[in-house]
């Protein structure tokens, strides 16, 4: 599965997702809140996964299959792992620009020490860098980075990339209750982000089933405090707290649509019903996919989701 959606994005409007990392998950982090689950292959060495021409053809076929009223606002590299681990990322971005749709990349920023990674990301129109903490101990607790990653190097290269990049640069901080949501930690994080000078700094909370089931969202007081701290630091903050909607993209192949979207974007129950209606599909398809272990039904914060189940 290389492309999925389009899905409603809380940052980018309607986004066609591009998954340039094969399953099982390959990442330089194993974040405690990750909706894709725990990292199966912890890695920091870039390698070839899919050839750029393969990604181009898959995305073209996907775009051609969409209704004219369902075209995406962005083509977004939001992978089953860290997208910059793909050594062909830059070439893939260049090929996809032929569609005339802005390119976005959501990265954990852990590999910015590599010149070629920064150069690849500079080809994108919109980039989001993960900044969950300015404290090394908290960074290790929440992001669980590869053992060879150095925190000070990570911070230094956030600043370096910010100087080099000419597109829309953004940051995202995921707040987890009792991990990185107290006032002192948030102030330190805001001070770090201020030096990056992002267009927008997103403050988000876990809204989908996390990798570790004890992970929970902060209370409303902590969230309001975080917003005010960011604002007072001279940052342009935006909260990502709610459900992004049920307007999932569809191609007419309900099994492929469900499995592809579930692989990187757990589908909320009401969104699943809307997808079935759009694809004119029988609801028994969902039971079929559950019974053959293609997807799994889970509950998080009293809401039902469907997520991809990978065979062991």
- Segment 82-132, tens digit of pLDDT: 999 999 999 999 999 999 999 999 999 999 999 999 999 999 999 999 999
150 domain residue, yes or no: yes
Q: Evaluate whether 217 touches 204 at the Cβ level (below 8 Å).
A: no
35 domain residue, yes or no: yes
38 domain residue, yes or no: yes
Q: Do strands 126-130 and 41-42 pair parallel, antiparallel, or not at all (unpaired)?
A: unpaired
In this predicted structure, the answer to whether residue 10 has a pLDDT above a threshold of 90 is no
Of 121 and 283, more confident: 121
- How many residues make up the chain in this entry? 312
Domain boundary at 240, 265, 295, which?
Answer: 240
In this predicted structure, the answer to whether residue 247 has a pLDDT above a threshold of 70 is no
User: What value does the mean pLDDT of the chain take?
Assistant: 88
Confidence label for 155 from pLDDT (cuts 50, 70 and 90): very high
Q: Evaluate whether 160 touches 222 at the Cβ level (below 8 Å).
A: no
Q: Note the pLDDT tens digit of each residue in 182-220.
A: 999 999 999 999 999 999 999 888 877 888 989 998 887
23 domain residue, yes or no: yes
What pLDDT is attached to residue 217? 86
What pLDDT is attached to residue 312? 43
User: Tokens 């909370």 correspond to what residue?
Assistant: 205
Confidence label for 67 from pLDDT (cuts 50, 70 and 90): confident
Angle, helices 151-164 vs 183-196, to 10°: value is 40
For the record, the structure tokens of 147 come out as 């053992």
Q: Mind giving me the DSSP string for 94-105?
A: HHHGGG---EEE
What pLDDT is attached to residue 249? 60
Domain boundary at 193, 208, 240, which?
Answer: 240
Q: Give me the residues paired with residue 232 across strands.
A: none
248 domain residue, yes or no: no
Cα distance between residue 116 and residue 88, in whole Å = 10
Q: Do strands 26-27 and 41-42 pair parallel, antiparallel, or not at all (unpaired)?
A: parallel
What pLDDT is attached to residue 134? 97
Check whether residue 39 and residue 152 sit in a common domain.
yes
- For the chain, how long is the longest CA-to-CA vector? 53
Residues of the chain above pLDDT 70, percent: 92
Confidence label for 3 from pLDDT (cuts 50, 70 and 90): confident
Q: Mind giving me the DSSP string for 210-256?
A: -SSTT--PPPHHHHHHHHHHHHHTT--EEEE-S---S-----S-HHH
Check whether residue 303 and residue 226 sit in a common domain.
no
Domain boundary at 240, 268, 286, which?
Answer: 240
What pLDDT is attached to residue 299? 73
User: What is the separation, in whole angstroms, between the first and last Cα of the chain?
Assistant: 18
Confidence label for 298 from pLDDT (cuts 50, 70 and 90): confident
Number of domains observed in the structure of the chain: 2
Can you tell me the mean pLDDT for 291-312?
73
What pLDDT is attached to residue 209? 81
CATH of the domain at 71: 3.20.20.70
Of 309 and 108, more confident: 108
Q: Give me the residues paired with residue 307 across strands.
A: 296
In this predicted structure, the answer to whether residue 246 has a pLDDT above a threshold of 60 is no
Return the H-helix or E-strand segment holding 25. Answer: none
Check whether residue 285 and residue 195 sit in a common domain.
no
For the record, the structure tokens of 111 come out as 């590999």
Can you tell me the mean pLDDT for 274-300?
85
Domain of 187, in residue numbers: 3-240
- Select, from the ranges 27-36, 239-248, 250-259, the one with the highest average predicted confidence (pLDDT): 27-36
């Amino acid at each position: 599965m290389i492309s999925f959606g389009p899905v409603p994005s809380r940052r980018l409007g309607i986004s066609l997702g591009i998954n340039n990392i094969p399953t099982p998950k390959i990442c330089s982090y194993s974040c405690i809140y990750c909706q894709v689950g725990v990292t199966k292959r912890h890695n920091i060495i870039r390698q070839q996964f899919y050839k750029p021409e393969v990604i181009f053809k898959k995305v073209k076929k996907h775009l051609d299959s969409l209704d004219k009223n369902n075209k995406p606002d962005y083509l977004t590299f939001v992978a089953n792992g860290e997208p910059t681990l793909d050594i062909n990322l830059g070439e893939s971005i260049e090929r996809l620009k032929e569609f005339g749709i802005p390119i976005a990349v959501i990265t954990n920023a852990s590999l910015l020490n590599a010149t070629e990674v920064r150069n690849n990301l500079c080809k994108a129109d919109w980039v989001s860098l993960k900044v969950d903490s300015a404290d090394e101990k908290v960074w290790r607790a929440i992001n669980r980075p590869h053992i060879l990653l150095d925190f000070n190097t990570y911070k230094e290269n956030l600043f370096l990339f910010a100087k080099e990049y000419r597109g829309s640069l953004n940051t995202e901080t995921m707040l987890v209750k009792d991990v990185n949501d107290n006032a002192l930690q948030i102030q330190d994080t805001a001070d770090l982000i201020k030096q990056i000078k992002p267009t927008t700094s997103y403050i988000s909370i876990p809204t989908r089933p996390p990798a570790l089931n004890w992970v929970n969202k902060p209370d409303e007081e902590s969230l309001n405090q975080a917003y005010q701290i960011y604002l007072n630091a001279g940052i342009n903050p935006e909260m990502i707290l709610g459900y992004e909607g049920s307007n999932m993209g569809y191609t007419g192949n309900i099994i492929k649509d469900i499995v592809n979207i579930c692989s990187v974007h757990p589908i909320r129950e009401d969104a699943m019903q809307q997808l079935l209606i759009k694809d004119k599909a029988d609801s028994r398809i969902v039971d079929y996919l559950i019974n053959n272990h293609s997807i799994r039904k889970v509950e998080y914060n009293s809401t039902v989701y469907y997520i991809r189940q990978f065979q062991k």
